[in-house]
Structure 1
Amino acid sequence: MLSGDHLDVDVLRRELVRPGGLWQAVEVVDRTGSTNADLAERARRGAPAGSVLLTDFQDAGRGRQGRTWVAPRGSGVAMSVLLRPSGVDHSRWTWLPLLAGLAVVEGVRRAADVPAVLKWPNDVLVGERKLCGILAERVETPSGPACVVGMGLNVWLSAEELPVPTATSLALLAAERGPGHRPPSRNALIATMLAALELLVDRWEDLEDDSLFAASYLRRCATVGRRVRVLLAGGVEVEGHADAIDDSGRLLVRTPAGLQAFSAGDVVHLRNG
């Protein structure tokens, strides 16, 4: 690990928790298997919406399609948040992981000054290298359905510690800028990302027109406008040109069989030509 910093729960609570705000509880645990699994279980036991769970070491982190990974202690942000949108039809909840991706992009741009973008649906990239992954899961609770959103941001990982060769970390990106550059603290990153997510969720709850969020997402999306391969369940693959994001957050891909809309799937960016 290139360096590290300390997660300070008191600092995070002062920055995030306020009366009437989205974030109502912040907890940091020393170690866990998965913050998403833990927070989902707490939600089933009645944890309030706006709960935030972080850990310094996660040994069974989960991604899409059941992928798992382990990162060195203190090397990144492993965080899950519990959302229960107020007065929002469940059909619109497909936007929650996309809003989380947009919040991470805006947060790291502001806090770390790196040109982060989105690969649909919610992988955060710098160039073509993955910086952060996001996983959203619906959970049934005593107060009704809720959504747990997990975010895993690479901060202090060295090149040898990256989960895949196509990933990167804020420390590596800072080193590329020259001596004296280093990432902001994880506390600053977390506070900035969650402040951005609060603003986005508040606006999304207030508005019924998701076309505004589709436009905001498109401005940070590196997928639209290029050739892609969409990997679906069961080994199905679809290739075509990513044309747009619709008002439901789906990726519209023009294929030889016509325009197809995807609400889920892994995307591979291909060379245009």
Structure 2
Amino acid sequence: MTDFLDAPALRASVLGGLWRQLDVVAFTGSTNADLAAAARAGAESGRVLATGDQRTGRGRLARSWGAPPDTSFACSVLVAPRRPMAEWGLLPLLVGMAVTDGVREATGLDAALKWPNDVLVDDRKLCGILCESVFDAPGRPHAVLGFGLNVALSTEQLPVPTATSTRLEGSDASATAILAACLVALERWFTFWDAGGDIIAPYRERCGTLGRDVVVHLAGGPVTGRAVAVDAHGGIVVATPTGHQTFVAGDVEHLRRA
């Protein structure tokens, strides 16, 4: 175990409300997979699992995600939403909002969201998010909300040139402080949403995709236009040469600003 993530400090900062148990492990394959397995074995909601060394992490579209030990953290939480499962598609957006708020709070960096839930700083990716449903858990269905955030990666360690880390962006905030701030924000936003709150307006405020020229990469080919709105269901509305189109899935690329 290293000092990258301080489990006692994290517990002191976040336990007592929604989060009931927090574990930090030296390494694991996937924090999402671990919590999904725990849910199937009867674990209650409110569990948090984090590591500074995730070895078989996955992102959206089945992309692999990894980093040298103690340069990034992976964290997953287990929740059992009361809202209808038809509305669970908003959970990735909610997690993106929480991480954005946590990064801003802990580091002072101007983090923003690329639709639907990539957390960016200066158009470079800082954090990716993956949310998964666990339908076969005892009792009601659960969801695992996972996020991986680059803290101490150097330029040479970046997986792609479009990535970044809080250290590269000028912040010396610790992984512990950043993760604690993200978990506090995630409790706040999840509790609000699960009680019936509407997160679309605050999501729009944090979405740096709005007003940008974008390419939406789809299986049938790319669509180019300007992102003009996020609808009530979390879809991105793009003004294209043939009219407005709404997308609920797709890989969005921000085009360079003029």
Residues 5 and 186 in structure 1, CA contact (< 8 A), matched pair in contact too = no
Structure 2, unaligned runs of 5 or more: none
Structure 1, unaligned runs of 5 or more: 175-181
The answer to whether structure 1 residue 206 and structure 2 residue 195 are counterparts is yes
Distance 2:212 2:143 in 1: 31
- Pairing partner for 2:240 from 255, 258, 271: 255
The answer to whether structure 1 residue 144 and structure 2 residue 140 are counterparts is yes
| Structure 1 match to 2:58 | 62
Q: Return the offset for 1:266.
A: 1.1
- Pairing partner for 1:14 from 12, 15, 21: 12
Q: Provide runs of 4+ in structure 1 moved above 4 Å.
A: none
The answer to whether structure 1 residue 97 and structure 2 residue 86 are counterparts is no
- Pairing partner for 1:173 from 169, 176, 180: 169
Q: Return the offset for 1:256.
A: 3.0
- Secondary structure at 2:13's aligned position in 1? helix
Could you say what the CA RMSD is over the residues aligned between the two structures, in angstroms?
1.6
Residue identity in the other structure for 2:193: W
Q: Return the offset for 1:235.
A: 5.3
Q: Return the offset for 1:252.
A: 1.0
Residues matched between the structures, number? 256
Distance 1:65 1:32 in 2: 21
The answer to whether structure 1 residue 193 and structure 2 residue 182 are counterparts is yes
Distance 2:110 2:257 in 1: 22
Residue identity in the other structure for 1:8: D
Q: Return the offset for 1:253.
A: 1.3
- Pairing partner for 2:29 from 28, 33, 43: 33
Q: Which sits farther off after the overlay, 261-270 or 235-244?
A: 235-244
| Structure 1 match to 2:121 | 126
The equivalences for 1:147-166 within 5 A come to: 147-166=143-162
- 1:64-115 superposed Cα distances (whole Å, 9 cap, x missing partner): 11111321111112111112112x1212211111111011111111100100
Residue identity in the other structure for 2:12: R
Residues 132 and 154 in structure 1, CA contact (< 8 A), matched pair in contact too = yes
Residue identity in the other structure for 1:30: A
Distance 2:220 2:12 in 1: 46
| Structure 1 match to 2:78 | 82
TM-score by length of 1: 0.89
Residue identity in the other structure for 1:219: E
| Structure 1 match to 2:68 | 72
